[in-house]
Structure 1
């Protein structure tokens, strides 16, 4: 049986499946900011993140039956859909994307988040571009768990659901991702010490 705190969402989902548009709108409002923030960190582009978010919720609207409550939360499932959409868009638009587009977007100036996360506070200052570059430079399979667990604040179990791996692998990849990020930020001068990297690999 799903956790009790999932029951309100599952009630909305059941109404949505019956054609209740207000139920879909309620779920959209509840999760859109987290999905957008996740997509933004994956793509590094506001334009692409908006597209991925829209595609994710269109997929949800048209295929709500694909979500299985027994496998995790709606939030984690939506992040999984967004991850797939971002990868598909990256493959289809790689040759057509102008690199200068990413430079001029002001990476975190228009984050659509109601709640400020630790990363939001970093991305809103002058180090935003350096942090974006450091996150983007991490190997994709490490970057995914870093964004999910540290930056999107999903649980290890939810990150495992999104990535299709076990929790032990999530922990291992997250440790390496933290070390890589701390090292890159240290070399860029964003961090003044490499202590976080040492702590992360213990």
Structure 2
């Protein structure tokens, strides 16, 4: 039996599988901001994040049976789908994204995120651009768990589900991702007491 807190979502999924469009609209309303936030943090680009979010929901609506409640939460599964599309957008590279490739996206599309939270508004300022640049310098397989666990507040189990790895691997990747992220923040002069490192020309 599914946990009690998952039951309303499972009811919506059941209605969706029976063709209820309102059920999809409600699932979209509940999860679009979290998926978009994950995609924005992962890609560093508002335009790419919007595309990734759209692709994740289109993939789900095309085949809602792909989600298996026995394997974990719908939110974590949806972030896993978004992760796959974000990686595809990045060209399936395992190396870190070149921060120079980031688009100049300084604000979230207002129509996309309703009632922006303080966290989302923070992403729109200049400092958030620097943080996204630092995140882009983290290898994608470390960035996955770093964004899921540290920035999107998913549990290790949910991150493992989204990434298709075991919890021990989540822990080791998170540790390495934190180290790479700290190095990138230091390089950009964003850690307290760290002078900005000049890039060799």
TM-score, normalised via structure 1 length: 0.83
Partner of 1:127, secondary structure, is helix
Larger mean Cα displacement after TM superposition, 38-47 or 130-139: 38-47
Quote the Cα distance in structure 2 between the aligned partners of 1:108 and 1:19.
Answer: 32
Contact 1:36 1:50 in 2 (8 A): yes
Deviations 1:114-138 (A, max 9, x none): 56476x4653443222211110001
Moved more, 109-118 or 135-144: 109-118
Alignment of 1:154-193 (within 5 A): 154-193=154-193
Note the alpha carbon deviations across 1:70-92, whole angstroms, 9 max, x for none: 00010011111111112223329
- Two-structure CA RMSD over aligned residues (Å): 2.4
1:56 counterpart residue number: 56
Structure-2 change in CA distance of 1:109 and 1:61 (3 Å): closer
| Greater mean alpha carbon deviation, residues 82-91 or residues 169-178 | 82-91
Unaligned residue ranges in structure 1 (runs of 5+): 93-98, 195-202
1:81 correspondence with 2:81: yes
Structure 1 residue 155: Cα displacement: 0.8
1:130 aligns to 2:130 (yes or no): yes
Specify which structure has the higher proportion of helix: 1
Aligned position for 1:33: 33
- What's the secondary structure of 2:24's corresponding residue? helix
| Deviation per residue, 1:167-200 (Å, 9 max, x gap) | 1111111112112212221232111157xxxxxx
- 1:2 pairs with 2:2: yes
TM-score normalised to structure 2 length = 0.83
**1:12 aligned onto 2:15:** no
Distance of 2:22 and 2:44 partners within structure 1:
31
TM-superposition CA deviations, 1:9-28 (whole Å, max 9, x none) = 00000000000011110000
Cα deviation code 1:134-185 (max 9, x no counterpart): 1000111111000001111111100000111111111111112112212221
